[in-house]
A and B are shown apart, each in its own frame.
Chain A
Amino acid sequence: MKSSGFTLIELMIVIALLSITMTYLYPAMQSVVQQDRHQQFALKDAATLSNFYGLMTRELRLCQNVVSADEKGVRFSDDRAIKVLDGGKSIAIGTRVIRLESGARVWGFEKVDDRTFSTQIRNGSDKIRVLWRTGADHE
């Protein structure tokens, strides 16, 4: 009589081979998944921070002197303001609100002089002190 299908020995060999393969592949797969999550964060950070930069430079062209800068944001002499909302999770620039997602952070508003203030920016492993300047010389 001719038998069809796998024998028990063949099945056992396949399962053993799969187990050995999975033992080696599982840590590699985990690192791939972790790397993918990290890349998704990096993409979100880049989008958020590029958006933030564009809005800041456009707004600051219109602003006049810096009146005050603290953890709540920056106030200008022409009643314009940049406000920190939701405990630093969002920033209102003019009429727009930027939500800081994943790892991007903007904090530490400090007045430097009448036309200049600084903030701290975190982008991935980079922590940058950014000086911002008001007025029309943003070329």
Chain B
Amino acid sequence: MKTRTGMTLMEMSLTIMLASIVLSALFNLSDIQRNVIRRLQHNTSAIYLLESCKNQIKYEIDHGTAPADLSAESLAALVENQDWKIELLPQTEPGKVVVTLQNLKGGRFGVIYQMEVKTQ
């Protein structure tokens, strides 16, 4: 009887399956890494934006604007691209202004940053 050499169908299927698992895991890891770096980039921008919003609010209050009259428009002008959404929340305590910041391109990794500025 002639002996058969080479891979069997089962071995070939297993090899292809393992290769597919390794490749999909690699693509998944690369996707996660991309998202982590995107989040890091957003966090860095958010640090500067929050600092800037705080100082803009303090500047406006120093120049006679009442906390209730503050608007988000002057804060939105601090960033040039339209990916960031800056909002002022309604005041719950006198002298306390709450700013929220969100990157609209954050997708499922999106974060809302919130900061309180005490004006008194």
Contacts and interface: CB of A to CB of B under 8 A. Distances in A.
25 contacts: A32-B30, A35-B30, A39-B33, A39-B34, A39-B37, A42-B37, A42-B40, A42-B41, A43-B37, A43-B40, A45-B44, A46-B41, A46-B44, A53-B51, A116-B55, A116-B59, A126-B41, A127-B80, A129-B78, A130-B48, A130-B78, A131-B55, A132-B55, A133-B55, A133-B59
Summarize B's interface: helix, strand, loop or mixed: helix
B56 A131 contact: yes
Contacts of A42: 37-38, 40-41
Contacts of A39: 33-34, 37
A124 B44 CA distance: 10
Interface residues of B, number: 28
Interface string A56-77: 0100000000000000000000
Interface residues of A, number: 28
Contacts of B21: none
